Structure 1
Amino acid sequence: GAVLLKAFLVCWSHDTVFVFIATGVEKAKVVTRISASSLVAATAWCREVDDEAKKPALADLTVVVAYPRRLTFLNGSGAQKKEVPYIESTDGAPRALACSASGLLVVVSSTNIIRVWELGRGASTAQPKPVGAPRRINITDKESGEEVGIVESVAANCTRASILMSRHEKKASGGGGAVRHQIDARIVFYDIINDLLAFKYCKASDVLYSPVTHTWDHRDPRVMACEGRDVTPTKATRRQGVESSSSISRINTLLIFILDDSGSGQIVMQGTHPCRTPSGTAALPVAIATPYIYFYDSSAGSVSKVCQRSFAGMESACDGPQGASTAKALIDFSFYLAKGNADAAYRAVRAVESLAVWENLCRMAVKTRQLQVARRCLGRIQVSGEGSGGGPVSSAPAAALRASFVLRDGDAKADFATDDEELAAIAVHLDMIEEAEELYRQASDYFKLNKLYQRLGRWSDAIAVAEVHDRMHLSSTHFACAKSLEAKGDVEGALKNYEKAGPAGLSEIPRMFLRFGLLQPLKDYVQRVQKPFLYKYGQYLESTGKAKEAEGYYHQAEDWAALVRLSWARSDLDGARKICRDSGDSNATYQHAKYLQDYCTAPGGQCSPEGKVFERRTMPGVEGKEELLKEVVDGYSYSGRVGVALRLAQAYDMEAELIKLSMQAVYSDEGAGGTATAGAMQAARFYETKGDYARAAALYQKIGQTDKAISLCLATEQHDALRKLADYLTPETTDQATMERCAKVLIEQKYYDKAVQLLASSKQLENAVAMCKDYDVPITEELAEKLTPKDRDHPKYRELLLAIGDLSKQHGL
């Protein structure tokens, strides 16, 4: 092994220790050679010299050598300072040791007893002193019940030590029951100050790692990094019965832990980093100083500095004048974030002003699914971005993506269905596409995942998501894909997606062919595919003056309205009529009626359908204007435009048609408030102005204007019409005063049966029963039910029942 100090390099083998002086540019020189037969382990430490100009001497160097039964402390010249015996039966034998930069020596024996020594402060002759009492490693996993095995290596800093252990494993059947040592996936941590033991599994993202090497951070004593080899068994090894320890990873992973310095013993995983150089080759981690990791590339013989993935983009902040405090704040943030304490995490970094730092902190919050922290960080990013005149991400495509995506035009306070959906939106804002994909899948928000893929141009992924999870938007996805491919000039790809996009896509195909001037391919395609494209191709032929050819395609497409238009264009009125009659198509009939109305009403004896001007007298098959207008009204009525027909009939005093259309308008499917109802209202007013009050009242009642109908009947003394309206009067539609007034009029006109019904409906039961007696009104079951009080507490309930009974008996009910 070897230890590199500020002025010395100490190396050792199984029987010799060498001390070199490191002189900088020159080769190191051996100054001391110490014989150490049966050496188990060794380490060294050099005391800091008060005078910076003065170089450390050999007397300032302490070399610690562990033998099977003793621990020896030597100076740089090989002179012994102290020797500590180990009793094998109780203490075991020294097995692993490590010394921190502050001079704290940690020794672990074969029986897992930890001893800590302070190598000396002050004078170089100071003797090593034990720190605290020896401590045995006796922790057990509560879940598996496994105890730690034998110590393999130790690493230490000023307050803590990390220990790698091995565990005993029996070989598989056929191995003779032999036992072998396997590095435990657990790391043991010893808090020297608080005398606490804890352990942590080397596990990240459900992957189990076997520790290889470990080291403490040179900047922060809470941070420890461990190189791990993936030992999670694959499907192949499980099928073949191969042990998990035999699986080999391509590149090892550095796992970074943060320990709580409050004495709680909490350990959290800060993150992972692949053990490779910037060029991508496998490398050995030799040191860590947040935010950097130092790797040794054995093939190139060089050491490279790499920034941790968690702190990417924050190098300048950590290297600046406030670098130490910034690095500590970032580690605090990581620790609290891993613990789920959002408020403490934000407090740890709120003094940081760097935009890059806040952006990366927001990334960390998204990765750890801390929504509250991510919101706060995003707010700081936006504020800082506005102040600096730039956005959080410099990528133009990413900026365009953010502007068009789910942040609701930059509003981070928009409503989201789930926390995962909001985190995904923030991930898109930060250009964290992989995280956004994962979050949308977790939230089962496949529509937004589909939209994300579309905006990224990942059409195969978008279509795959739509086919499996978002079939409602499958057609629109194909349509958007086709539009994108068409813009790139990929006609064949766009054609396939337009075909899969349904009717909306099919209508775009002729336009695309014409856009690229592919006339013959369009014609071939139309003939092959037929109906959906015939109309568009017919339009194209008509626009080029080939009306006769267009007519054939319109006929195959059953576009009767277009054929009517062409008939009118060539002044063929009989042809247009025949098309309407034979097809029975309402659109064609409406088109014909519209052109015919223009023809009849055009000034100067001319009409101009679709820009074509014809002399009325030259039109073949033209009858008198009255007959043509009747044909127009019938056409509008047949095509469902009852309101239009009513207005036309009213304008030309077509009384017979007006009567028929008025009733048709009342029962039209257009419903209340539609054009048909408005037409019926106009017809009622028309009849009212003509003095036909009975018909006007009937129309008012049919379209729900009951009060207006009653007022008209009463004002114009239309008693017979009022008698008919009485059947439709109820307390729900007519106020009581109006009903009483109507009843009075009906009594005066001797319509006693209708008057009784109105009196019963208006709750005047006594008057109604009395009128039945006085005028011998026939009693029916329905009328008897109306005359019976609903409330048994009615003051004359009994008398009314007896009277109704007598009347019913008289009329044989």
Structure 2
Amino acid sequence: MARMCVKTRRLDVARVCLGNMGNARAAKALKEAEAEPEPEAQVAMLAIQLGMLEDAEKLYKSCHRYDLLNSFYQASGKWQQALETAENHDRIHLRTTYYNYAKYLESAGDKTLALAYYENSDTHRVEVPRMLQDDTSSLEIYVNKMKDKNIYKWWAQYLESQSNMDSALRFYELAQDYLSLVRVHCYMGNIQKASEIANDTGDRAASYHLARHYEGHDDIKQAVHFYTRAQAYNNAIRLCKENGLDDQLMNLALLSNPEDMMEAACYYEEKGTHMDRAVALYHKAGYVSKALELSFATQQFSALQLIAEDLNENSDPAILARCSDFFITHSQYQKAVELLVAAKKVPVCDTHHP
């Protein structure tokens, strides 16, 4: 009766039959197949559960569900039909089909053909080194033949794990993996070579690694240099503050973000030296009122003029008034007038209620 349901496409009757047969697996598969929009695809699943494979194949073809037909061929071990279906009708799953076939070939011991299909599926950079890891001579031949940066890197990591550092360096170089090059050179004590690589390439990760190495060895000047190259300005600023490198600190703070500028300004202010730098950094970081306070406190006339350039009608009226008073005191009447004009509030007319 259940087999007749495939011919008559009576899935409601088939469910009763499967229940009477106690075939829970087939009933579950049929229920999942109900999500498919085509009735033929639903009936095909019933046919598969009942071992009616030719019927299932015809049903999938009749409703053009080549994706399900492809999966059906793969599950049946009909790899040539699966590949043909994927290449001609189900190209969206082509690479997945190649990959599954490669896995099958590998499990069957045909590594040469598996390799080709891993390449077809574009998973060879990971899968082939994994497959050949116990056959290092074949793997080395493959690495040299492929000339692929990802594979070079994998091979370099393998060589490093085997403590073959010179060969590892050669392949890290081919992979253009500058961080690993610098890391290995540091480990081997070739600090000069590591510095050349970081400087020549400008690689930020490599520069950061080298900066940490120099800091660990108390070479502060080089550490600051390479933190700067890595654009890790907060680290460079920290070292400058800890070691009294006040000139470099200013340049770094100006390159960095407002938080770092604020921190550097506080440092100069607390130190009581280079107050002009503290004012400039507060100003650039956006803390205008703080910059003004410090300018007034330290009588920095030129700094005040610079800050006043940025003041307009949107600025705090109290700040505008205080600046104009300062300019009047120092006989800078033109500047004082400009600020007072900016501070003047013009009433807005209401067109509906004149």
Q: Give the TM-score of the pair, scaled to structure 1.
A: 0.34
Kept in 1, the 8 Å contact 2:182–2:209? The answer is: yes
Native 8 Å contact 1:633 1:645 kept in 2: yes
Looking at structure 2, the residues matched to 542 and 495 of structure 1 have their Cα atoms a distance apart, in angstroms, of 25
1:714 deviation in Å?
4.7
Counterpart residue number, 1:652: 243
Deviations 1:340-363 (A, max 9, x none): xxxxxxxxxxxxxxx98xxxxxxx
Q: CA deviation at 1:454?
A: 7.2
Cα shift at 1:594: 1.9
For residues 700-727 of structure 1, what are the alpha-carbon distances to aligned partners after superposition, in whole Å with 9 as ceiling and x for unaligned?
2323333443444456554432221111
**Aligned equivalents of 1:703, 1:392: Cα separation in 2:** 70
> Does residue 565 of the first structure (1) align with residue 187 of the second (2)?
no
Mapped to 2, the partners of 1:487 and 1:570 lie a distance apart of: 43
Q: Measure, in 2, the Cα distance between the counterparts of 1:438 and 1:696.
A: 79
1:254-293 deviations in whole A, cap 9, x for unaligned? xxxxxxxxxxxxxxxxxxxxxxx999xxxxxxxxxxxxxx
CA deviations on 1:174-218 (whole Å, 9 max, x unpaired) are xxxxxxxxxxxxxxxxxxxxxxxxxxxxxxxxxxxxxxxxxxxxx
| Aligned equivalent of 1:696, options 275, 278, 295 | 278
Structure (1 or 2) with the greater strand fraction: 1
Within 2, Cα distance between the matches of 1:754 and 1:452?
83
The CA deviation string for residues 649-686 of structure 1, in whole angstroms up to 9 with x for no partner, is 22222112101111222xxxxxxxxxx44333321221
Cα distance in 2 for residues equivalent to 1:736 and 1:487: 78
Residue equivalent to 2:28: 394
8 Å Cα contact 1:636-1:645 kept in structure 2? yes
Residue identity opposite 2:10 in structure 1: F
Q: In the alignment, what sits opposite 1:720?
A: 302
Q: Is the 8 A contact 2:212 2:223 kept in 1?
A: yes
- 2:117 is the counterpart of 1:535: no
- Paired position in structure 2 for 1:640: 231
* Residues 1:763 and 1:571: Cα distance change in structure 2 (over 3 Å): same
The residue aligned with 1:596 is: 214
Q: Which residue is equivalent to 1:231?
A: none
C-alpha distance in 2, partners of 1:686/1:455?
Answer: 71
Shift in Å, 1:506:
2.3
Is 1:735 aligned with 2:316?
Answer: yes
Shift in alpha-carbon separation, 1:746–1:485, aligned structure 2, 3 A? farther
Quote the residue 1:616 is aligned against.
none
Distance in 2, Cα, partners of 1:760 & 1:456? 84
Deviation of 1:573 after TM superposition, in Å, equals: 2.2
1:756/1:507 Cα in 2 relative to 1: closer, same or farther (>3 Å)? farther
Which residue in the other structure is 1:686 paired with? 267
Query: C-alpha distance in 1, partners of 2:267/2:213?
Result: 26
Q: 2: distance between equivalents of 1:735 and 1:451? A: 70
Report the equivalent of 1:631.
Answer: 222
Quick check: 1:587 aligned with 2:205?
A: yes
Q: How does 1:172-211 map to 2 (within 5 A)?
A: none
- Structure 1 residue 749, shift from structure 2 partner: 3.4
Q: How many residues align?
A: 321
Q: Distance in 1 between matches of 2:327 and 2:72?
A: 75
Q: 2:11 aligns with which of 304, 309, 312?
A: 312
Tell me which amino acid in the other structure corresponds to 2:13.
M
Q: Distance in 2 between matches of 1:520 and 1:757?
A: 81
Cα distance change, pair 577–315 in 1 and its aligned pair in 2 (3 A): closer
- Over the matched positions of the two proteins, sequence identity in percent amounts to 26
Give the Cα–Cα distance (whole angstroms) in 2 for the partners of residues 736 and 556 of structure 1.
63
Q: Give distance in 2, aligned partners of 1:790 and 1:431.
A: 77
Distance 1:440 1:760 in 2: 79
Kept in 2: contact 1:643–1:680 (CA 8 A)? no
Say whether 1:512 aligns with 2:124.
no
SS of the aligned residue for 1:640 comes to coil
Q: Which residue of 1 aligns with 2:252?
A: 661
Matches of 1:751 and 1:483, distance apart in 2? 82
Q: Deviations over 1:759-784 (max 9, x none)?
A: 3433458xxxxxxxxxxxxxxxxxxx
- Where do residues 33-182 of structure 1 align in structure 2 (5 Å cutoff)? none
Q: Is the Cα contact below 8 Å between 1:658 and 1:683 reproduced in 2?
A: yes
Q: CA deviation at 1:437?
A: 10
CA shift digits 1:146-173 (9 cap, x unpaired)? xxxxxxxxxxxxxxxxxxxxxxxxxxxx
1:522 shift after superposition: 0.9
Secondary structure in structure 1 of the residue aligned to 2:28: coil
CA contact (8 A) 1:482 1:493 kept: no
Partners of 1:647 and 1:682 within 8 A in 2 = no
Asked if the contact 1:650–1:658 (Cα under 8 Å) also holds between the matched residues in 2, the reply is yes
Question: Is the 8 Å Cα contact of residues 118 and 124 (structure 2) preserved in structure 1?
Answer: yes
Per-residue CA shift, 1:597-641, capped at 9, x if unaligned?
1222xxxxxxxxxxxxxxxxxxxxxxxxxxx21111111112222
Relative distance call for 1:724 and 1:316 in structure 2 (3 A) is closer
DSSP-derived class of the 1:489 partner: helix
Distance of 2:37 and 2:310 partners within structure 1: 62
Cα distance, 1:315 vs. partner?
6.5
- CA distance in structure 2 between the partners assigned to 1:590 and 1:457 by the alignment: 49
Instruction: Answer 1 or 2: higher relative contact order, Cα 8 Å, separation at least 6.
Output: 2
Residue 170 of structure 2 is aligned to residue 552 of structure 1: yes
Cα pair 1:541 1:547 within 8 Å, conserved: yes
2:242 & 2:64 partners in 1: Cα distance?
Answer: 62
Listed as ranges, the matches of 1:424-439 within 5 Å are none
Match of 1:705 among 287, 307, 321: 287
User: What SS does structure 1 have at the residue aligned with 2:176?
Assistant: coil
Paired with 1:758 and 1:635, the residues of 2 have a C-alpha distance of 45
1:355-394 maps to which residues of 2 (within 5 A)?
A: 393-394=27-28
Q: Normalising by the residue count of structure 2, what TM-score does the alignment of the two structures yield? A: 0.70
Deviation of 1:466 after TM superposition, in Å, equals: 7.4
Give, in angstroms, the shift of residue 690 of structure 1.
Answer: 1.9
Q: Which runs of 5+ in 2 are unaligned?
A: 47-55, 76-81
Instruction: Please list, as runs of the form range in 1=range in 2, the aligned pairs for 1:472-487 lying within 5 A after superposition.
Output: 478=95, 482=99, 485-486=102-103
| Cα distance change, pair 487–699 in 1 and its aligned pair in 2 (3 A) | farther
After TM superposition, the structure 1 = structure 2 runs for residues 754-793 of structure 1, keeping only pairs within 5 Å, are 754-763=335-344
Change (3 A) 1:394 1:648: same
Change (3 A) 1:534 1:677: farther
| Aligned: 1:744 with 2:330 | no
Question: Which one has a bigger Cα radius of gyration?
Answer: 1
